[in-house]
Amino acid sequence: MKRIVFVEAPDAVGLVHRITGVFVELGLNIVTNDEYVAQKNRRFFMRSEVVGTADDQVIRVALRERLPLAETIWVLPERKKEIVVLATKESHCLGDLLLRQYAGELKANIRAVIANHDTLGSLVEKFGVPFVHVPHKGLTREAHERAMLAEIHRFEPELLVLAKYMRVLSSDFVSAFPHRMVNIHHSFLPAFVGAQPYRQAWERGVKIIGATSHFVTDDLDAGPIIAQQVLPVDHTHSARDMALAGRDVEKNTLANALKLVFEDRVFVFQNRTIIFN
């Protein structure tokens, strides 16, 4: 059985040797192994894929014994993540995820799609996935978020995916899923933060547009970036053309980011991501 082992620790001589020593003792074969040291902070990160019969808890305890100073020790079984997708009205990112699940290539199980409009219900139900409509009309943001969270918690997701969910989230909502909420933003962050990024891009006359997938944090559009992708444009593109062309980049960027997240390859350190792939 394969497991992902992740260690974050203050850098020190011999860490790799100590960690791989545990693997040898417990009869775990290394499939892949990646390390990174953030030199400025003298912080060590290591992600290994190992195969063997030892129990997760046994591995964890053995690593902790050898690495008393480690910040983080994770031993994660290789399995599909359980997710809930939030959406609004646009179908391109959501549809892409549904298709990937249909094709068996999504390393996640979409437990439900929850949306503040009912537009996407018929699409979601085609794929046999529960769709929940939580209208925001007439509700304060707080009341709507409470209703959303109540529905989300029913499905007990490990991760939330915001597939063009177009509502600004409160601090409270965000803190319910720390580094467990992945968003797709329709610009090449940090350019064009906020509303109507394609309009802003058109006005600035840029020659390349892009999309950014990031973890959601309190600070709007400022969370740790997971993946970015770009597309050339020219003067013949109206803001609307850019938005249309941007759809493909958005869905591809989100798919790329999620692949990395679902495979436990993305770690956050000081608002930046470390990605082992």
By CB under 8 A, residue 137 contacts a copy of itself: no
Please identify, using beta-carbon distances, which residue of 141 and 207 lies nearer to a copy of itself: 207
CA angle 78, 84, 89 (to 5 degrees): 140
By CB under 8 A, residue 127 contacts a copy of itself: yes
Active-site residue flag, 172: no
Q: How many CA atoms lie within 13 A of 160 on its CB side?
A: 29
From the CB of 145, what's the least distance to a copy of itself, in Å?
Answer: 27
Q: Pick from 53, 57, 68, 103: which binds a copy of itself (CB under 8 A)?
A: 103
From the CB of 113, what's the least distance to a copy of itself, in Å?
Answer: 15
How far apart (Å, rounded) are the C-alpha atoms in residues 141 and 118?
A: 18
Per CB under 8 A, which region of 129-137, 147-155, 173-181, 228-236 contacts a copy of itself?
228-236
Assigned token pair, 87: 């959406």
How far apart (Å, rounded) are the C-alpha atoms in residues 237 and 243?
A: 9
Would you give the binding string for a copy of itself spanning residues 37-76, x where CB under 8 A is met? x-x-------------------------------------
By CB under 8 A, residue 1 contacts a copy of itself: no
Please name which of 142, 48, 156 lies closest in space to residue 112, comparing C-alpha atoms: 156
- Asked whether 198 and 246 are in contact (CB, 8 A), the reply is yes
By CB under 8 A, residue 217 contacts a copy of itself: no
Catalytic pick among 218, 221, 241, 248: 221
**271: Cβ–Cβ under 8 A, 6 or more apart, which residues?**
217, 222, 223, 224
Q: Pick from 17, 53, 57, 138: which binds a copy of itself (CB under 8 A)?
A: 17
- Amino acid 106 reads L
- Asked whether 75 and 28 are in contact (CB, 8 A), the reply is no
Would you give the binding string for a copy of itself spanning residues 239-268, x where CB under 8 A is met? -----x--xx---x--x-------------
Please name which of 146, 3, 144 lies closest in space to residue 62, comparing C-alpha atoms: 3
- Asked whether 214 and 182 are in contact (CB, 8 A), the reply is yes
Neighbours of 130 (CB within 10 A): 15
Query: What residue ranges bind a copy of itself (CB under 8 A)?
Result: 13-14, 16-17, 20-21, 23-24, 27, 29-37, 39, 91-92, 95-96, 99, 102-103, 105, 123, 126-127, 188-192, 203-208, 210, 224-230, 234-236, 238, 244, 247-248, 252, 255, 271-275
- Active site (catalytic) residues: 221
